[in-house]
Amino acid sequence: MKYLLDSVAMKKIDEYSIKTTGIPSVVLMERAALSVSSFVEKLAYNKKDSGKKDISICVVCTKGNNGADGLAAIRQLYLHGYKTLVYEAGRKEPGTDEYELQKNIIKNLEIPFECAVQDNILPLDEYDFIIDAMFGIGLSRDVTGVYAQIIDEINRVSAVKVAVDIPSGLSAGIVQVSNKKVKADYTVTFGFDKTGMVLYPGRKYAGKVIVSDIGFAVSQDNVQKILENNPARMIEKKDILMIPEREADGNKGTSGKVLIAAGSRSMGGAAFMSAQSAYRSGCGLVRVFTHENNKNALLTLVPESICDTYNDKNSNCDELTKWCTWADCIIAGPGLSVSGQSEEIVKCILQSGSDATLILDADALNIISENEEYYEYISRYKGKVIMTPHVGEMSRLTGKSVGQIKGNSVETALCYSKEHGVICVLKDAATVVCDHDNIYINTSGNCGMATGGSGDVLTGVIAGMMCAGFDDECFAAALAVYIHGCAGDMCRKNQGIFSMKAWDIAESLSTVFTQNNTDYN
Ligand SMILES: NC(=O)C1=CN([C@@H]2O[C@H](COP(=O)(O)OP(=O)(O)OC[C@H]3O[C@@H](n4cnc5c(N)ncnc54)[C@H](O)[C@@H]3O)[C@@H](O)[C@H]2O)[C@H](O)CC1
Ligand SMILES: [K+]
């Protein structure tokens, strides 16, 4: 797990490093600059045919500390023999102390220097590399005037663009303040990943992100001691190793019993995918409660599953209640449709008296969005409740527009989770998983996963992680989302982004688990 920080958190880390522990600001800056210049130099080496003198690099800066980093980086590149230019934008007043210190060195070395003039921006076509050092985490408002014109020029030309700390115009936190942003090919960011570069739209602007250790006196392990609020986190590959080992003397009953209430008269596929992925994610027994029309197909496709059915005349709620108390984890909703009968099924599960972890997905969410009283049932449900809306379902649940939710996914998920006392998995390109005091933003997966059934597969993986023996269900849900994304990334390699489908994702899960050495002995 890695922390994702915003500008307030980064400023605290900066301040702690400089004021409390006494690391001089300029030391951090020189290390930051060196990480940028050596990265650019590595890229320049790859342009094998040209000698250093033929490679031209322009740094664009304003007069804050991001600009100061940029000045130190370009000085290092100049001293290595590259053709360089400093292009400065900003008011007449002096910059920060660090900026003026770096500018003085630039002047002493007589490194070419130009000041930007509004409406007369220097064409930047001739540069192989542009180092973007206009705004870092100090960005506080919309970018306009000369700064906006320079960003347009940077985005127009074909140079390789390397952003210092964060692309200029992009905010480090969950809310974006500017419409104008540099579209970088690479971002060398300092100390920690930034929330705004992991969420969309920021992720599209940051390019490949390199996190550079510049010597802040705060490690991943003590971030939380320095900050007041819990910062967001992202799951990483090594977290898959945290899945508890399967009991050597366990049996199918001890590996997790899952009940899946899914699949209506004409929609069976969701139930099959959910069942298949639950088994592929380690569940010991999977019982599917579905419309009788789906039984044969289910037992053909996932013969390991147990099938109980309802039909048009009988919702079979007595049986369903019994299986709810049998289960360790319940999935309700995939392909269930919205009807009087499916409402009865969802209500029966919520009122079953079970304390199994309950995953509410798809039509269960649509039913809840149309029937306020279901929130009352949720609040009285004994076990943990996980709700997994995609943005469309979240829009129906909250009455907010899809645009509002996409622009503020963390806040939306967090508010919803707090209001209803549930773990919320808000599914989007960067899925947010949260409870009242934890936020995870997912980084695995790809747009090929935007395909029918992908969410049904996710419910099975979440059930698998609920049965794996974690104490922390929110972390387990976030891990499931990450694993699901990794399986999607595997499909991208094997089937390709256009051809991959949900069943492929379910079938790739075993590779994700085995490649990470968690194939339970
Ligand atoms: N030792 C250190 O302090 C280190 C700092 N690092 C780098 O510093 C930046 C953060 O620097 P800061 O001076 O706080 O702000 P910026 O350079 O990001 O911004 C400059 C300046 O611009 C003003 N401003 C903000 N928004 C706008 C706008 N839309 N239009 C015009 N002007 C705007 C605002 O007043 C800012 O002060 C950090 O990202 C690092 O790159 C290194 O980490 C090394 C250690
Ligand atoms: K920048």
Three-state SS for 436-460 is CCCEEECCCCCHHHCCCCHHHHHHH
Would residue 344 count as lying in a domain?
yes
Q: Which of 18, 66, 146, 182 to mutate to test the pocket of ligand 1 (most atoms within 8 A of CB)?
A: 66
Q: For ligand 1, is residue 140 a contact (CB within 6 Å)?
A: yes
Q: Are 216 and 276 within one domain?
A: no
Q: Are 198 and 319 within one domain?
A: no
User: Which token pair is 407?
Assistant: 């622009």
Residue among 319, 267, 266, 312 nearest 289 (CA): 319
How many domains, the chain? 2
Q: Which residue has the tokens 């490679």?
A: 55
Is residue 520 exposed (0-12), middle (13-18) or buried (19+ Cβ within 10 Å)? middle
Q: For ligand 1, is residue 190 a contact (CB within 6 Å)?
A: yes
CA distance 247 to 282: 12
Q: For ligand 1, is residue 274 a contact (CB within 6 Å)?
A: no
* 430 labelled binding-site residue: yes
Q: Are 442 and 501 within one domain?
A: yes
Q: Are 128 and 258 within one domain?
A: no
Residue 148: give its domain's CATH number. Answer: 3.40.50.10260
CA distance 105 to 112: 12
CA distance 116 to 477: 50
Would residue 520 count as lying in a domain?
no
Ligand 1: nearest atom to the Cα of 62: 20
Q: Are 304 and 353 within one domain?
A: yes
Q: Are 258 and 214 within one domain?
A: no
What is the ipTM for the molecules in this complex?
0.97
Relative to the alpha carbon of 189, which ligand is closest?
A: 1
Q: Are 205 and 270 within one domain?
A: no
Would residue 409 count as lying in a domain?
yes
Q: Are 119 and 217 within one domain?
A: yes
Q: For ligand 1, is residue 212 a contact (CB within 6 Å)?
A: no
Q: Are 275 and 222 within one domain?
A: no
CA distance 283 to 136: 46
Q: For ligand 1, is residue 65 a contact (CB within 6 Å)?
A: yes
Q: Which of 102, 137, 149, 162 to mutate to test the pocket of ligand 1 (most atoms within 8 A of CB)?
A: 137
Longest dimension (CA), the chain: 88
Q: For ligand 1, is residue 66 a contact (CB within 6 Å)?
A: yes
Would residue 164 count as lying in a domain?
yes
Would residue 35 count as lying in a domain?
yes
Q: Say which residues have a Cβ less than 8 Å from residue 169's Cβ, sequence separation at least 6.
A: 134, 135, 139, 143, 151, 178, 179, 180, 181, 182, 205
Would residue 306 count as lying in a domain?
yes
For each of the chain's 521 residues, which pLDDT tens digit applies? 999 999 999 999 999 999 999 999 999 999 999 999 999 999 998 876 666 668 999 999 999 999 999 999 999 999 999 999 999 998 889 999 999 999 999 999 999 999 999 999 999 999 999 999 999 999 999 999 999 999 999 999 999 999 999 999 999 999 999 999 999 999 999 999 999 999 999 999 999 999 999 999 998 888 988 888 889 999 999 999 999 998 888 887 788 999 999 999 989 999 999 999 999 999 999 999 999 999 999 999 999 999 999 999 999 999 999 999 999 999 999 999 999 999 999 999 999 999 999 999 999 999 999 999 999 999 999 999 999 999 999 999 999 999 999 989 999 999 999 999 999 999 999 999 999 989 999 999 999 999 999 999 999 999 999 999 999 999 999 999 999 999 999 999 999 999 999 999 999 999 999 986 554 33
Q: Are 216 and 286 within one domain?
A: no
CA distance 334 to 459: 9
Residues 83, 53 contacting (CB under 8 angstroms): yes
Dihedral over Cα of 505, 510, 514, 519: its sign: positive
In terms of residue numbers, what domain contains 72? 2-234
Would residue 247 count as lying in a domain?
no
Relative to the alpha carbon of 138, which ligand is closest?
A: 1
* 455 labelled binding-site residue: yes
Residues 474, 435 contacting (CB under 8 angstroms): yes
Would residue 521 count as lying in a domain?
no
CA end-to-end distance (rounded Å), the chain: 24
Residue 351: give its domain's CATH number. Answer: 3.40.1190.20
pTM: 0.94
Ligand 1: nearest atom to the Cα of 63: 20
Q: For ligand 1, is residue 84 a contact (CB within 6 Å)?
A: no
